[in-house]
Amino acid sequence: MNSLPNSARLRNQRGVHMIATDVTTTTNRIPAIDFTRGALVLFMVLYHWLNYFIAPQGDFYRYIRFVTPSFIFVAGFLVSNVYLSKYDISDLRLPARLMQRGLKILGVFIFLNVVIGFLFQQSYSGKIAFGRLSITNLVAVYVTGNTAVADGKVAAFYVLVPISYLLLFSAGLLMASRFYKYIFHAVCLLFMVGIFILHVNGLESANLELLAIGFLGVILGHVPLEMINRFIGHPYALVSTYLCYTIAITAWDVVYPLLVVGTCLTVLVIYVLGAGTGEPGKARRLIDLLGKYSLFGYIAQIAVLQFLYRGLRYVDLGSGALGISFLGAFALTVMSVAALHRARAKSATVDGLYRAVFA
């Protein structure tokens, strides 16, 4: 794959900020992908709002189970579809950049959980046990990914761990792909077989399941966007396929093969919605902005929901509290991202801090 001229490559190296890996730049972004990531942030707000204010479990979750794996799928898609369009596969800066990004996301995860451990341990459904650095908890977070425990969860912002692993693995596999171009296909298949073997033995690994979906994203990321855009001309086929998927998960729940299919379908549907022509309205621009700051938006929505959950307990709003919490969760998350965007434009210090942490 041919590399771009140095000047173009330097222009493309700015503006990295997404939950998975923001690789498109402020001057060379793909609006439909920004829309996709922004919409996923909003679905994540809904997912967590249901956890905080409705119930931590319920049949309705099967219809939004795609949220977490979609983030890592998009991360993998952008590794091949965007990064590899900027660097030659033999360019050592490509794996170095992926490794740097992966380590930074892992560092953000550790920092946030250490802060949570110092500030408070009571979560909406129990305790965040990250402060108790037992071998069992460390294995749950960094090996199996099975972070749910009887009294709550082992760590917050867990999705950042498999995303960081995806980027770190991709850095190594890209170097290996110089010698075997189907290395991602082989690893993805190996992970799928491992998931099947675990399932047969009554076991599971959330990290393994998410990484397999991430590598599938890398594989599908080699499909040109022009080919993907052809689905826009066949909306009925896409809607019919998604309807079949919805019927399937209603009948059989979200078994892993259906989760993989649902993740790909949902991301495609959102992408198609974001790829429409015409001048975007205010709502669309806000969703695009969320997509440009998806990592920050993901973190901000957790802080917003914690604030609402704890604050509304001391205010007697009756049945209106549920509606206020719902609208407030979305509005405050969007406002937080918009405020950061304005602050970056006005302050070089804020912009520098943002780049140091998120870019």
Q: What is the mean pLDDT of the chain?
A: 84
pTM here? 0.85
Residue pair 37/287 in contact (Cβ under 8 Å)? The answer is: no
pLDDT at position 54 is: 87
Mean pLDDT within 304-308: 90
Is pLDDT above 60 for 4? Answer: no
Residue 258: name the closest of 270, 241, 271, 238 by CA: 241
pLDDT at position 45 is: 95
148-149 and 126-128 beta bridge pairing = unpaired
pLDDT at position 348 is: 95
- Distance in angstroms (rounded) separating the CA atoms of residues 335 and 296: 12
At 168-178, the pLDDT tens digits run 999 999 999 88
At 72-102, the pLDDT tens digits run 999 999 998 888 777 777 778 889 999 999 9
At 325-357, the pLDDT tens digits run 999 999 999 999 999 999 999 999 999 999 988
Residue pair 264/214 in contact (Cβ under 8 Å)? The answer is: no
Q: Which of 83-87, 115-119, 276-280, 320-324 has the lowest mean pLDDT?
A: 276-280
Mean pLDDT within 297-310: 90
Q: Which is more confidently placed, 3 or 293?
A: 293
pLDDT at position 222 is: 87
Q: What CA–CA distances, in Å, run from 118 to 4, 115, 131?
A: 47, 5, 8
| Cβ neighbours for 209, distance < 8 A, ≥ 6 positions apart | 69, 145, 195, 256, 259
Mean pLDDT within 117-133: 54
Q: Which of 143-152, 254-263, 299-308 has the lowest mean pLDDT?
A: 143-152
Is pLDDT above 60 for 132? Answer: no
Residue 222 DSSP code: T
Is pLDDT above 80 for 13? Answer: no
Q: Which of 3-7, 150-154, 190-194, 279-283 has the lowest mean pLDDT?
A: 3-7
